[in-house]
């Protein structure tokens, strides 16, 4: 019974230690991450809205909706 209590206490200490550590991103890291995500979204938007890609997507959708049974 005593070894179980020690095991639970050890587990609780590890959990508390993990919760208390400051391993998250700082404000500047959040800002850089947000800018990078927005840049990636802008590039993907430009790629998807380019005429060749739009034509390909439109062709795929037209073929899918005009499926003959």
Confidence at residue 1, expressed as pLDDT on a 0 to 100 scale:
65
Q: Using CA atoms, how far apart are residues 48 and 54, in angstroms rounded to an integer?
A: 7
16 located within any domain = no
pLDDT in tens, 4-39: 777 888 888 887 777 666 666 678 888 898 999 999
For residue 33, give every residue at least 6 positions away whose Cβ sits within 8 Å of its Cβ, in sequence order, or none: 25
Is 17 contained in some domain? no
Does 7 or 60 have the greater pLDDT score? 60
How many folded domains does the chain comprise?
A: 1
Kindly calculate the radius of gyration of the chain based on its CA atoms and give it in whole angstroms. Answer: 26
Assessment of whether the complete model's pTM goes beyond 0.85 = no
pLDDT at position 54 over 70: yes
Q: Which residues contact 25 (CB under 8 A, 6 or more apart)?
A: 33
Per the structure, the complete domain to which residue 48 belongs is given by 24-69
């Amino acid at each position: 019974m005593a070894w179980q209590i020690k095991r639970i206490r050890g587990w609780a200490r590890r959990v508390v230690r993990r919760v208390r550590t400051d391993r998250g991103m700082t404000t500047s890291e959040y800002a850089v991450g947000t800018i990078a995500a927005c840049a990636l979204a802008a590039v993907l938007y430009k790629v998807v809205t380019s005429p060749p890609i739009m034509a390909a997507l439109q062709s795929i959708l037209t073929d899918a909706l005009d499926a003959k049974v």
